A = this chain, B = another copy of it.
């Protein structure tokens, strides 16, 4: 109960030996934990940023070494494909192929950065907004869009792709992740859970309970808050009076960091360290990314009711893809040919998706009874009989 102020003040990167070790280990694919949990709780006062909005590199820093250039090229590739996917999905709503679509345009660095920071065997806990992250993770885009097309709820097999169903009841996934991660540890596996959550959802009680459970049980979870400034129409100022959402960590004894969410290099660097921290057994880590939702909440929303174009324009200038492209080009890690190749891949991806989404999905009314329980109850068997009879009668009528 008695702690010196140092315990909650972040040591400066210059003087923290652990960070120096991390810098050395940076070339390894899964760096050693860079943090001493008892010495680091509060986030740095300014979001971590490694490249400027125009792609100019900032001075290298020991606490967040830059990810390897191959990782950044891969990040770029997936962000471009991801955005093209996102645009295509929005277009599909206009053609009536999707019931609704929440775009994550503008949040590409977060969507893809999160996925690249974890292993395939790690678990991702997405919200409805993470379609882009999920396709980036390699999940079939048609399966990702199943929920939004409306033929079933979750289109993929979560256990096969280590990805929870896209979560709509806000913040509830925070607790699931704590349980999953703890359960994996309990069974001797070194799985990490990565939770995507929005700024608004941090106001829910389940955020509090989830992060706290993870902290008390030292569960390897990274809580990744995409602060895109709005919860539908409600601005951040109505969610919190805190200096930033990252400051919530200290109340749980969880180290936290804030990052420029439109700086793909910084996002990947910060998440990589957070994941390493969790995997090393130091418990959860909280990251807040400052980003922006460029589109309305969903295609059904009218964002002009609550924010003006000037604000959106400001953020247009901070586009994460252009930023990374400029940086990689300047470093000589990307040229016109490579950019064109990625663009082409993205087009092909979108075309394939478009074509596959053109087919009307088959839905089987009687399947409604298949997965309520492992075996249907007598009550459900009765109701299935009723529906079967209705369908038979309808078919007969159609026949005449």
User: In this assembly, does A30 line the interface, its C-beta being within 8 Å of a C-beta of chain B?
Assistant: no
Mask, A227-251, CB within 8 Å of B = 1, is 1000000001111111110011111
Q: Are B2 and A46 within 8 A (Cβ)?
A: yes
Separation of A209 and B237 alpha carbons in the complex (Å): 15
Interface pairs (8), CB distance under 8 Å: A1-B258, A1-B290, A2-B46, A41-B243, A204-B205, A207-B208, A215-B240, A247-B251
B-facing residues in A212-227 (Cβ within 8 Å): 212, 215-216, 218, 227
Q: Are A3 and B244 within 8 A (Cβ)?
A: yes
Chain B residue numbers with a CB within 8 Å of A54 are none
Q: Are A205 and B209 within 8 A (Cβ)?
A: yes
Tally of A interface residues using CB under 8 Å: 45
Total copies of the chain: 2
Among A42, A208, A240, the one with the most B-chain Cβ atoms within 10 Å of its Cβ is: A208
Residue of B nearest to A239 (CB): B216
Chain B residue numbers with a CB within 8 Å of A253 are 240-243, 247
Chain B residue numbers with a CB within 8 Å of A208 are 203, 205, 207-209
- Chain B: minimal CB distance from A205 (Å): 2
B-facing residues in A283-298 (Cβ within 8 Å): 283, 290
Chain B residue numbers with a CB within 8 Å of A42 are 5, 8, 250
B-facing residues in A1-22 (Cβ within 8 Å): 1-5, 7-9
User: In this assembly, does A206 line the interface, its C-beta being within 8 Å of a C-beta of chain B?
Assistant: yes
- Chain B: minimal CB distance from A47 (Å): 7
Among A218, A239, A253, A283, the one with the most B-chain Cβ atoms within 10 Å of its Cβ is: A253
User: In this assembly, does A338 line the interface, its C-beta being within 8 Å of a C-beta of chain B?
Assistant: no
Chain B residue numbers with a CB within 8 Å of A203 are 208-209, 212
User: In this assembly, does A254 line the interface, its C-beta being within 8 Å of a C-beta of chain B?
Assistant: yes
Residue of B nearest to A248 (CB): B251
Q: Are B248 and A2 within 8 A (Cβ)?
A: no
Chain B residue numbers with a CB within 8 Å of A393 are none
Partner of A9, one of B9, B204, B209, B241: B9
Among A3, A7, A240, A243, the one with the most B-chain Cβ atoms within 10 Å of its Cβ is: A243
Q: Are B45 and A5 within 8 A (Cβ)?
A: yes
Chain B residue numbers with a CB within 8 Å of A248 are 250-252
Complex A-B, nearest 7 residue pairs according to Cβ-Cβ distance, in ascending order: A205-B205, A241-B253, A248-B251, A208-B208, A3-B243, A242-B253, A215-B241
